[in-house]
Amino acid sequence: MRKAAIIVMLSVMFSSCYKKISLDGFEKDKWDKYQLNCSTYRLAIAEHLIDNQHVLLEGTQNEIESLLGQAAEHELYERNQKFFHYRLTPPDSCNHYEAISYLSIRFNAMGRANLVQVMLREVNN
């Protein structure tokens, strides 16, 4: 019983070690549900995210994941850098796209965001 209490206490402490970042005008519910209803919200909000990238660039990997959720793709890069790619284009089941757009965030070896960009990838048929 005592071990369980210690584990709970440690999890609360560690989960509160990072601040939550927020972005005015960003609706997390719509961001999270884009796959369910073929929403174009992510495409619509992309420019707002780029215009306010300073907020994202102040964040850590954990803070970004808290805001945007788990990325569609992770890419390990040189010198322990990594990229998180968040799909902006609705899922393929909604429509056929010639290109798919992603919000890409690069993290340095310390887990700090240091680049925010929108990427396009052509779809090979």
Q: Which pLDDT does position 5 carry in this prediction? A: 54
Residue 89 domain-assigned (yes or no): yes
Which domain does 93 fall in, by range?
A: 21-122
Number of domains in the chain: 1
User: What pLDDT, on the 0 to 100 scale, is given for residue 21?
Assistant: 87
Q: Is the pTM of this model over 0.75?
A: yes
Q: Return d(Cα 122, Cα 125) in angstroms, integer.
A: 9
Residue 96 within any structural domain of the chain: yes
For residue 101, being part of any structural domain is answered with yes
Helix (H) or strand (E) holding 6: helix 2-15
Per-residue pLDDT of the chain (125 residues; tens, 9 = 90+): 566 555 555 555 555 555 788 899 999 999 998 877 888 899 999 999 999 999 999 999 999 999 999 999 999 988 899 999 999 998 888 887 788 999 999 999 999 999 999 999 888 75
